[in-house]
Chains A and B, each alone.
Chain A
Amino acid sequence: MRVLVVEDYELLRDSISQGLREAGYSVDAAGDGDQGWWHAQTGNFDVIVLDLMLPGMDGLTLLKKLRAKQIQTHVLLLTAKDTTEDRIKGLDLGADDYLTKPFAFGELLARVRALVRRKYGEKSPTIRIEDLELNTLARSARRGGEQVELSAKEYALLELLANRAGQVVSRTEIWEHIYDSQSDALSNVVDVFIGHLRKKIEREGLPRLIHTRRGMGYVLGKGEE
């Protein structure tokens, strides 16, 4: 899952980015509104964590421009303003959630997870595809009742595929959601990770869940290649 953090206070920006990365998200960060807009308008993010008061373009203007351009990325407003009027204004302009500084990082993570679930139409933190079960809170996976040990990137890849179960997810989409823009990962890294994932979740006697669609991408779910 890919998150954009737009926050001008360096310590907070770096800490949020680090915390999200360690939680398995790929994170891009921007220190002002203009830079944030440059990132956000690509629409490749699952969630944008957006500070309201930014140098250059302020957060509300950025949000307005996003919605005007029909970019429906979920936005979590992050600000030190805590009046009801501020919340109403932010939510009316198209924000999906609101968090007031200072906050517990665990709460920010939970809200980001909720927004990701909302994006993929999930209500429950547990995703089930056949006998594969993903717990998005614990960031863990089980296949046929057995725990599957996954690295952060492998889990992120599996969660992306699980959120879009039954749909073809292109290599480019996978790459964009797993790596941030600063990453120097090679272009074939997606295939390598898919290979690792297959080895870990496929079991003998159980149906294959990750299917390759040649020239298109990958599909998670019961089906035939």
Chain B
Amino acid sequence: MKSLRSRLIIRTLAACIACFVVAGIVLYLSQRAALIKEFDRSLEARAAVFMSVTEESPQGVRIEETLNEHAIDRKDFFQMWTADGRPIAKSPALGSADLQRAEPNRAVFVHLPDGARARQRTFSFAPRLDEDAAPASVSSSHKVSLTLARDAGDLDRQLARTAWTIAAVFGLTALGAIAVMWPAVSAGLKPVGALAQRIAAARDRDLSDRIELRNAPAELVPVVSRLNELLEAIEISFQREKAFTADVAHELRTPIGGLETALEVCAQQPRTQQEYRQVVGKCLVAARQTHRLIEQLLLLARAEGRQVRTAMQWENVQELLRENWQAVESRANQRKLRLDWNVPGNARLWTDRALLDVVIRNILDNAVSYADEGGQVLVRWEPADDAGRLIVANSGCTLDAGEVAKVFERFWRNDTARSATGRHAGLGLSLCEKIMPLLGGRALALVRDGNIFEIELSFRMNHPKLTEKSAVAMVELASAAVWAWP
């Protein structure tokens, strides 16, 4: 795995080298163009000399004798033709070979008969008339073509030297860049390294530590900030899970401890049949409580993970409430609770019966358990725009607003006891809150008039074929028929 440092260096270096190559090419080409232009100028100057020594006389076009002796550089080759293509003269060095007569005023590189590279240009001009025949300033009306070629060896060597110089300078610069870049990039990446070390040092045992980077670069500030936010979220989540696991262990240990001790003490000595029956009866109650607790925990876990399959169908609210009330009715009577019942007879819900039973049973059980002795339990169905609200309330509430906000927390109870009577483990309302969204609703808890604890279950009419109009009509119909039960 490549390190960030090597990646940065390699990529930066690659970018630098690419820039150097492009710059080198551009520089070389500009130098080349300048040198060739200079070479062409000297070729033009040499051509001007040829033109000045070329004259036309009645005998034809001729070149002064002095040119061959003094004016022609050994590196220059020429050939001259009349307008109709008849050769006039050429460099003796050409021997039997000829230069190629090209288009006028266009310089090109060619190879000379001896194989050397040369720069060649063809000029077309009118030679001056012979001094004896006309004034020197007057030119002939006959055109002559002059092709002048010059050995380009010096030019090529100059161009090669330029290319190598550019390549050497840029190559050495690239090597220098590597030498400078390594420590520079390392120094620049120090905060990243420090951050990596802090993250590597983080352990799930101590998530309360936050990452602090002194003089953190601006780019890392949001990263560190976000990391700390995530650490905080993880810490809260860990603490919650830890507390939940501890609560689960605690809630299971107490009844299991009770069962174990009861059976162990019972087995210590022979007992009467009645004594055995009593112990078995007590253990059975404890086993059922434990079973219920485990079922609640499993359902809670599935509801939180949204792994509960719902089987939705129309249910009569009144029947559903009546059946669940029967489960707590005897206890309500024992506690001399007064029931205020206001449920429309035709109120219906598109819901999952089994899940809603769990919710209703828990909130009714909660109301009956925590109402004051001789107090009141209220069960009311209220039609609403979106469907309806089921309200279950009880008198005798001693919770303040802060405590009410916690009633849906897992294992929360008003007193510090955990095992208590084994009846309430503090999961019931938490289950209700988690199940309600699965049924397309939600649960709210509030305190009214100082001592009325109220759980409000809001339901939405989420039947796929139910239109808004028919839902309103149904709620109106339901509210019109208040069933006076019990």
Residues in A lying within 8 Å of B, measured CB to CB: 8-12, 14-16, 18-19, 22, 32, 51, 53-56, 58, 80-83, 100-106, 108
A15 / chain B contacts, CB cutoff of 8 Å: 258, 261-262, 264-266
B260 within 8 A of A: yes
Extra 15 A-B pairs, beta carbons < 8 Å, given A9-B255, A51-B419, A55-B417: A9-B254, A9-B258, A9-B420, A11-B258, A12-B261, A15-B261, A15-B262, A19-B265, A53-B418, A54-B417, A58-B416, A58-B417, A101-B257, A102-B253, A105-B265
| A8:B419 contact, CB within 8 angstroms | yes
A18 lies within 8 A of B254 (CB): no
CB distance from A8 to the nearest CB of B (A): 5
Instruction: Note all chain A residues with C-beta closer than 8 A to B415.
Output: 55-56
Task: Say yes or no: B257 contacts A80, CB within 8 Å.
Answer: yes
The one of A18, A53, A105 in contact with B419, judged by C-beta atoms closer than 8 angstroms, is: A53
- B291 contacts the other chain (Cβ, under 8 Å)? no
- 10 pairs of A and B residues whose beta carbons are closest in the complex: A101-B257, A102-B257, A11-B258, A80-B253, A19-B265, A12-B258, A55-B417, A80-B250, A15-B262, A15-B261
Taken together as a complex, chains A and B put the C-alpha atoms of A105 and B250 apart, in Å, by 18
A-B contact count (CB 8 A): 101
Nearest-neighbor residue (CB-CB) of B275 within chain A: A18
Please, which residues of chain B bring their CB within 8 A of the CB of A51? Answer: 419
Number of interface residues of B (CB under 8 A): 31
User: Within 8 Å CB of B246, what residues of A?
Assistant: 81, 83
Instruction: State whether A11 touches B259 (Cβ < 8 A).
Output: yes
Judge whether A8 and B420 touch: CB under 8 Å: yes
A22–B264 contact, CB under 8 A?
no
Q: Are A12 and B420 in contact (CB under 8 A)?
A: no
Task: Indicate if B37 sits at the interface (CB-CB under 8 A).
Answer: no
Contact A104 B255 (CB under 8 A): no
Q: Which residues of A contact B251 (CB under 8 A)?
A: 80
Give chain B nearest CB distance to A125 CB in angstroms: 19
> In the docked arrangement, what's the CA distance between A18 and B268, Å?
11
Q: Is B470 an interface residue (CB 8 A)?
A: no
Chain B 59-76 residues near chain A, CB threshold 8 A = none
Task: Flag if A55 contacts B420 (CB, 8 Å).
Answer: yes
Which chain A positions have C-beta within 8 A of B261?
A: 11-12, 15-16, 19, 102-103, 105, 108
- Kindly supply a per-residue 1/0 record for chain B positions 243-255, scoring 1 wherever the CB is within 8 Å of any chain A CB and 0 otherwise: 0001001110111
Contact (A22, B250) CB under 8 Å given A55-B415, A55-B420, A101-B257? no
| Nearest B residue to A13, CB-CB | B258
